[in-house]
């Protein structure tokens, strides 16, 4: 049993339930706001990153995760920035992986894939069984333009390493009009041909970035109709704990998911909260309401942390209200996606 774990889990007795009756079972943990890429829809060219002194220690993250598991959270996803660029990250993965079977059912990861060759085997050994890889294009030049930094060869090599290690892989692709919409079908065939899932994601108005969000916004309802005209899409009951809704594609024998925060939000079934690298708990990606868990554990310990979780449930909003059109071109929130966690 991991250090600090409660031998008698109280999640069933005191679950985290918000004002709208939604039970929180999924915690996303950003371990760093830093990334080795600068994707145009996620970050600005010149980012100011957090001072290291403000970032939660691994011990603090593990304490917070343990508190959530004791209150009924069953899935934890590590995010960033890019989680695998944080120094000694496997120490944290091993700590949290130790909770699996002691209340935690699954530990997953979202990554840009650049470091997977180095870490894939260790992730498997720590209990990670599947991960999401962000990949918006298979074209080398376009990849360099979208990421501003990355080499697609490193990512594809990392994906190979993860697959060889036995990790189940889902590709996350932000669909952008005039940028990569022509690659959605090729990506579908590539991903399904390798046994990977594919999830398409609508761009969200978070932070000042490097693209015109209005011009590049591609409603996934429109994209789904395009696919439906060419492929046999059968609605699937497959769920991974997140907001994606899936179709089975008969011709490629794989699943395609749609995450639609702009065209059709999924707030009524939201089971998630997000912890930033500095310990701020955001109850909604699209709102500014937050509770400072770093202050709670540093000033009051486990009891104060438990009280803070109760307060978070009272503050969790009914949903977000993203608007994106020519009358609303400014970001809905000033913070970048990399700050809250992808």
Check whether 298 is labelled as a binding-site residue: no
Q: What is the number of domains present in the chain?
A: 1
Asked whether residue 3 is domain-assigned, the answer is no
Check whether 35 is labelled as a binding-site residue: yes
Q: Which domain covers residue 278, as residue numbers?
A: 26-340
Check whether 81 is labelled as a binding-site residue: yes
Check whether 273 is labelled as a binding-site residue: yes
- Tens of pLDDT, residues 97-136: 999 999 999 999 999 999 999 999 999 999 999 999 999 9
- Tens of pLDDT, residues 29-77: 999 999 999 888 887 777 777 888 889 999 999 999 999 999 999 999 9
| Residue labelled with tokens 């909003």 | 317
Asked whether residue 311 is domain-assigned, the answer is yes
Asked whether residue 156 is domain-assigned, the answer is yes
Asked whether residue 13 is domain-assigned, the answer is no
Q: Sorting pLDDT into bands at 50, 70 and 90, what band is 205?
A: low
- Tens of pLDDT, residues 208-247: 555 566 788 888 999 999 999 999 999 998 888 778 899 9
Compute how many other C-beta atoms are within 10 angstroms of the C-beta atom of residue 186. Answer: 13
- Tell me if residue 140 falls in helix, strand or coil: helix
pLDDT at 331: 42
Check whether 272 is labelled as a binding-site residue: yes
Check whether 77 is labelled as a binding-site residue: yes
Higher pLDDT pick, 201 / 318:
201
Check whether 204 is labelled as a binding-site residue: yes
Asked whether residue 198 is domain-assigned, the answer is yes
63 contacts: CB under 8 Å, gap ≥ 6: 4, 297, 302, 305
Asked whether residue 242 is domain-assigned, the answer is yes
Asked whether residue 178 is domain-assigned, the answer is yes
Check whether 34 is labelled as a binding-site residue: no
Check whether 274 is labelled as a binding-site residue: yes
Answer for the pair 103, 67: CB distance below 8 angstroms, yes or no: no
Check whether 134 is labelled as a binding-site residue: yes
Q: Sorting pLDDT into bands at 50, 70 and 90, what band is 339?
A: low
Could you tell me the pTM of the whole model?
A: 0.87
Asked whether residue 79 is domain-assigned, the answer is yes
Check whether 326 is labelled as a binding-site residue: no
Check whether 170 is labelled as a binding-site residue: yes
pLDDT at 7: 41
């Amino acid at each position: 049993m991991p250090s600090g774990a409660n031998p008698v889990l109280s999640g069933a007795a005191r679950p985290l339930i918000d004002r709208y009756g939604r039970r929180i079972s999924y915690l996303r943990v950003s371990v760093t706001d830093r990334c080795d890429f600068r994707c145009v829809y996620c970050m600005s060219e010149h980012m100011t990153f957090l001072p290291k002194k403000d970032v939660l220690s691994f011990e603090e993250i593990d304490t917070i995760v343990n508190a959530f598991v004791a209150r009924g959270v069953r899935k934890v996803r590590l995010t960033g920035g890019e989680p695998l660029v944080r120094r000694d990250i496997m120490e944290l993965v091993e700590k949290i992986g130790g909770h699996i079977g002691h209340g935690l059912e699954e530990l997953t990861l979202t990554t840009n894939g650049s470091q997977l060759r180095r870490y894939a085997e260790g992730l498997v050994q720590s209990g990670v069984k599947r991960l999401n890889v962000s990949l918006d294009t298979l074209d080398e030049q376009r990849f360099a333009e979208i990421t501003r930094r990355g080499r697609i060869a490193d990512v594809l090599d990392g994906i190979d390493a993860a697959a060889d290690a036995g990790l189940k892989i889902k590709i996350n692709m932000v669909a952008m009009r005039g940028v990569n919409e022509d690659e959605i079908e090729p990506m579908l065939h590539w991903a399904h041909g390798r046994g990977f899932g594919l999830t398409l994601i609508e761009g969200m108005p978070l932070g000042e970035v490097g693209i015109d969000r209005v011009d590049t916004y591609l409603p996934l309802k429109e994209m789904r109709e395009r696919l439906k005209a060419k492929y046999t899409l059968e609605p699937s009951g497959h769920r991974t704990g997140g907001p994606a809704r899936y179709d089975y594609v008969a011709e490629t024998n794989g699943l395609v998911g749609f995450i639609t925060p702009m065209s059709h939000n999924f707030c009524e079934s939201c089971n998630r909260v997000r912890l930033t690298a500095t310990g701020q708990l955001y109850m909604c990606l699209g709102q500014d309401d937050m509770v400072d868990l770093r202050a709670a554990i540093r000033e009051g310990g486990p009891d104060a942390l438990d009280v803070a979780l109760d307060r978070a449930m009272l503050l969790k909003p009914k949903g977000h209200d993203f608007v994106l059109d020519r009358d609303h071109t400014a970001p809905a929130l000033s913070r970048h996606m990399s700050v809250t966690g992808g």
